[in-house]
Structure 1
């Protein structure tokens, strides 16, 4: 009997892996090991750790890329209007069903029956009778009274809580700012960092995206914006949010607390499809291999969950606690990679293509579709694209071809962005101004990449002139 987790190690993986950095992997040796295990994009979670620690991690990644001539994307994840409990003496505590708990405004560590919260906005948001959740909905509490910054509540569903765990209040008011005072301080501190993406937490509408884009527009290097979908309000205008963003993260932990849990798979499928239609990379996140925080192998349900996200057509899967604070971070990446390889080898995305292309009748979309169709019908080994802004590669990627997409660009930051797109393998190239020169250079680089060999036919797409962003007008089949 073939072991499905070991039989596909040599297959090229197209689904990208995002790894969150935390105490378990924060030193340079472990970051390099994560890269070697196959991590494509790193997430710096600004809700935890210090900016100095995050900057050190960023420098390690950039140093590695410079030395090895590789490309890895880095996401800076803003805390957003996320309320959290404070520190807990002993780091964690168990809340029992029916227990009475006091929540007070303080910066000091709490000790049961007292939990502390630093952000005093919590006390303005809750009233007697309201419910709220701690730790991704695992613990549910009901407010008995709220007076003088002392909340008295009853534990309706108990569980373990630990320091700095998040608080969820269903339907957070729109008046709550999308960028908090803490976010603004972080933005000022990181404005010159060599990040690729900013993830905006708790997006409720397009206006939240526009607020952040306006804020970062004066930066020397404006970051691409990933909208984190974790509030029910966002679902009401999801298509517009996808259009306004540069990428999407489906943060199922918080989302699953605030909408009926049985509806999460439907929204996952819908958001992935809407992102693909608009050529926006999409990440499925939260509890992908959650049990591997403490165990060396995942549950069968978790394996199915990761595979399900890939069958749905996601660009990337994200590991959070598994790599940030887990006991088996490398094993988590290895397992995620093996599941992805096996699943991709059995996924059929062809039925999706006509639905995606039906609303895209421009020349660039037609040529990208043509490249996919030619490669499929002729059984070509790769699709080759020259791209200045990344749009040509992303247009092809949304069809989820079963062969690699080699993306050549003279722009390093675009190559790092493309590490988040399904099936795209980025390579650096010199700027070519003449079409004939560009084609010969891509043939040479494809041969050098070892994804094509002499005598192979390849399909080439590009926008000519190459410096013209977001435009694809060349389609050609060539022999290497």
Structure 2
């Protein structure tokens, strides 16, 4: 079984229980609901189908809601599109109604009316994921005058980025606030926040989520130039539950060549701080229309796995592509092959490590013991799943099973690298609880009689954050 998790976006190509179930069987662990598209009813229906498919497969999988954020877009064109020629003048006009088809090859409306205040002559604007490049020549009132450097076809609602960042749009829009309420109603396990510039943006999102009654974990999508400043990035990671290396808009703002090194740095920083990390955007892009990936895509996914990402993500490939199930299957095979090539150096991870919490020390001791005893599995009995999360920050090659009575904790653990979540009722008696854990692993063919397993638990049982005991047992032997 692969350790790296797969996040698959749902859409028209993957909108039935049968297809979702097939994707789960192929290796999908978390399903993404993209709030940039669809209605609350669409998202609710998809969430229900995920739960139904997961129950059919006997698996706990997670659901992640992904907020649109302040994606700055041109409006609608007369005829749906316009062609921009290199060297021609082109105006971005904040005074035009962006909901009417008023744009043309000379002038386009905007949904972000503050753009004239955020740019000046000499700035570079990138449209349609960077395919079209404009240089600002002057700003007059509501009109941003530009000249086309790289031309091409520009269609309705294409995005605008400023090279190097610097746009002042807030991370949460009115639409996002409404979508957070939808996410709470659906009971998503994770909520991804688009375009945060600072830790304050994530703290605001957490406050809004809590006020709406939500308990989802927050993922910060790193896609603005401001967010990759080392101190700012560390601050965002600290106040989030995880980050997403959102390579699309990030590449447009900082340049394609800068992204691979940033990806590696972000994965390391997140793992160092015991936070989750998802690598996203165009990982298997060719499989939108082709039944097999390119060799470059295989290398891309494998390198993210070798870097230590918790999850790799599919967007249009699984939402709108011709081969959603085959894409998941191919991605799972790549991840597994990359993991098998890894050399585990767990001892090195523990050099100069200091633990101030008992539960975290037990988690690390369980990893160390299982690694050196060549145990078949680690069973982390945990109310919240935090013990399994800490274990998952280090690669030991030993499968980790997060055993929890809380369905919500199990669904969250579906995103943790190397962790298999299992819902198991806890007995107040420790020995009976440990026996139930052993039985749960045997029933899933994860272990067999004679195998060595490492168990961690807390006493008294059922107390969140109370992991304080480690036990090594041989499956099938009588316990005193």
Name the TM-score, length of structure 1 as normaliser. 0.90
Structure 2 counterpart SS, 1:407: strand
Distance 2:21 2:439 in 1: 30
1:332-411 paired onto structure 2 within 5 Å: 332-350=327-345, 353-354=348-349, 358-411=353-406
Answer whether contact 2:349 2:394 (CA < 8 A) is retained: no
- 2:25 aligned with 1:30, yes or no? no
Distance 1:293 1:476 in 2: 48
Pick closer, same or farther for the CA change 1:75–1:113 going to 2, 3 Å: same
Structure 2 counterpart SS, 1:44: strand
Structure-2 residue corresponding to 1:77: 66
Give the C-alpha shift of residue 284 in structure 1: 0.6
Name the TM-score, length of structure 2 as normaliser. 0.90
Report the more deviating stretch, 347-356 or 207-216. Answer: 347-356
Structure-2 residue corresponding to 1:8: none
Structure-2 residue corresponding to 1:55: 44
1:69-468 paired onto structure 2 within 5 Å: 69-88=58-77, 95-104=84-93, 105=96, 106-109=98-101, 110-147=103-140, 149-170=142-163, 172-173=165-166, 175-236=168-229, 237-350=232-345, 353-354=348-349, 358-468=353-463
Structure-1 residue corresponding to 2:478: none
Report the more deviating stretch, 403-412 or 137-146. Answer: 137-146
Distance 2:255 2:358 in 1: 41
Distance 2:63 2:356 in 1: 33
Pick closer, same or farther for the CA change 1:92–1:442 going to 2, 3 Å: farther
Answer whether contact 2:346 2:394 (CA < 8 A) is retained: no
Q: Kindly tell me the number of residue pairs found equivalent between the two proteins.
A: 469
Unaligned residue ranges in structure 1 (runs of 5+): 1-11
> How large is the RMSD of aligned CA atoms in angstroms?
2.4
Answer whether contact 1:322 1:332 (CA < 8 A) is retained: yes
Pick closer, same or farther for the CA change 1:361–1:420 going to 2, 3 Å: same
Give the C-alpha shift of residue 348 in structure 1: 2.5
Give the C-alpha shift of residue 331 in structure 1: 2.4
Give the C-alpha shift of residue 93 in structure 1: 5.7
Give the C-alpha shift of residue 393 in structure 1: 0.6
Answer whether contact 2:134 2:147 (CA < 8 A) is retained: yes
Distance 1:477 1:165 in 2: 57
Q: 1:163-191 CA distances to partner (integer Å, 9 max, x unpaired)?
A: 43322124554753221122122223443
Unaligned residue ranges in structure 2 (runs of 5+): 476-480
Distance 2:344 2:225 in 1: 28
Pick closer, same or farther for the CA change 1:144–1:392 going to 2, 3 Å: same
Distance 2:56 2:20 in 1: 14
Structure 2 counterpart SS, 1:425: strand
Structure 2 counterpart SS, 1:192: helix
